[in-house]
Structure formats: C-alpha cells, structure tokens
Amino acid sequence: MNESTFAELATGFALSALSPADRRDFEAALAEHPEWEKHVRTEAETVLLLADAVEPVVPPASIREELMARILVTPQTPDAASEPDEEDFAAAGPAPVTAPARASTGGMRRRWFTLAASIVAVLALGFGAVTIGQQLTRPAAVVALEQIQGASDAQSASVALSDGGEATAHWSAERGEVVLVSDGMPVIADDQTFELWLVRDGDAIPAGTFGATDGTATALLAGAYQPGDIIAVTIEADGGSPTGEPTGDPIVAIATA
C-alpha cells in the first residue's frame, strides 16, 4: 500500500467504516510506516470539525417516520453494475452503510465525507439522546476495546509500572486486535513518544506510537495480533524508532496466551 492509498483509507478509519480486510491492510501499513500516523490524526480532526458543525435538533414526528420508512425500503446491497455517481450518492440521502469496494480508491475520500455528511444528517434529527460527537469522534482504540471485551475469547493481563501505575493489555485472537490501557505512565520529554511493539518469535514488530496525557492512555496496536505475542512499550524519539527496532529496554512487557 502506498501513502496515497493509506491517506484515502484514513478517512474511513476515522469513521470506523472500513471493512475488516481494509482495516487489516491499513493497520499493517501503519505498522510498517509509523510516520503515516499524521494522516490518521488529520482525518480524525476533520471528522470532529464536521460533527461540531451541526447542532442536534428534535425533528417533527413526520420527518422521523418518513426517514425510517426510506431506510426500510432501501436495498442493502446496491447493484454493482449500476453504482451511483458522486451526485447520485449525495442526493440519495442517508442509507445503510456498506464498505467501499477495495478494487478502486478513486474519489474514495469524497465518498467517505459524503457518507459522513449523511450520518451527521441522521444524527442531527435527534434520534435518542446520543450526540453527533459521541458517534463520530469516539477514538478507534475505545471502539476496539469494547469490541474486544465483547468477543467470546476476550482476555486481559496487567503489569505494574515502575512509578506505581498499571498497564493492562486486552486482546482477542478472534478479532486479531490488542488494546493497551495504561495509568501512571512515566513523564517523557516533548521530543519523545511511547512506541508499541508486538514481540513475536524474538522479533519486535512496530505497532504504532501514542502519548499519555496525565500518564493515562488507551492505545490500539496496529497490525494483527497472534496468540503468544508479547505486548511491549518502549520510549522512543518523536515519530517512533528511526531504525524500526526498539532502542531501549521495554517499560511494559505483557505476555499473552
């Protein structure tokens, strides 16, 4: 995957709308190119601005009923031979979300934000008490943590940190994901970052970087988890290890089953 394709998929990642296959490819690319994390941050900020631009209102009952009726009669899988163009897609209004075809990324970013605008339109109608910000701006790590905890094979393990804090790894082989929740991470310099690693068969695989505001963090590891991996954290230069390998001893090391 090149950086241009990664940047296109970053929008879908920020919306939690990637297909499982695209998400695996996206996370593998991020693990291989941690410097591309800037695209993830940019798209997350853009989605936040989009969410903040609309004020939720309570709709008339007639509008809600009409919208729900449209959703019920809208086909779940569009005819691949007659895919709508950009204008048709925007004019169609809110519709059930389907993953984009992996074969083409042309115009993907415009389609992602047409989708985002549709979601905003639905949420702005006031269904329930959930706000737009809660739906569109929840960190991917928080969403992944909930999904892991809901998996049939969910597991976790904790270790004590040197400064008295604690780090807990939550994982699911079924989902192939790991989330690290930490409290009491050490204070590091402004030009440093925490880097995640999947240690497998003696090799450390880069799995993304994260910061820890007030010593706390919830971080989703990039790359696919495999049973037996060791979840490790090192302190690296800002942007991650320049060599792609740990430059110091881990401050966190959690063995998984």
Contact yes or no for 108/38 (Cβ under 8 A): no
Whole-number pLDDT of residue 86: 46
SS (H, E, C) 149-195: HCCCCCEEEEEECCCCCEEEEEEECCCCEEEEEEECCCCCCCCEEEE
Which two tokens mark 98?
């389907």
- Can you tell me which residue has the tokens 């809110």? 94
pLDDT tens, the chain, 257 aa long: 888 888 888 888 877 777 777 888 888 888 888 888 888 877 777 766 665 555 555 556 565 666 666 666 666 554 444 444 444 434 444 444 444 444 444 455 555 555 555 554 544 444 444 444 444 557 889 999 999 999 999 999 999 998 889 999 999 999 999 999 999 999 999 999 999 999 999 999 999 999 998 899 999 999 899 999 999 999 999 999 999 999 999 999 999 98
Whole-number pLDDT of residue 58: 59
Contact yes or no for 247/229 (Cβ under 8 A): no
- CA 94, 95, 99, 102 torsion-angle sign: negative
Whole-number pLDDT of residue 11: 81
Task: Give the number of C-alpha atoms closer than 13 A to the C-alpha of residue 32, restricted to the C-beta side.
Answer: 11
Whole-number pLDDT of residue 163: 81
Q: How far is CA 179 from CA 85, 174, 190, 256, in A?
A: 38, 14, 24, 12
Please report, for the chain, how many H helices and E strands are present, in that order. Answer: 8, 8
Return the H-helix or E-strand segment holding 47. Answer: helix 37-52
Whole-number pLDDT of residue 250: 95
Whole-number pLDDT of residue 97: 44
Strand order in the sheet with 166-172: 155-160, 166-172, 177-183, 216-220
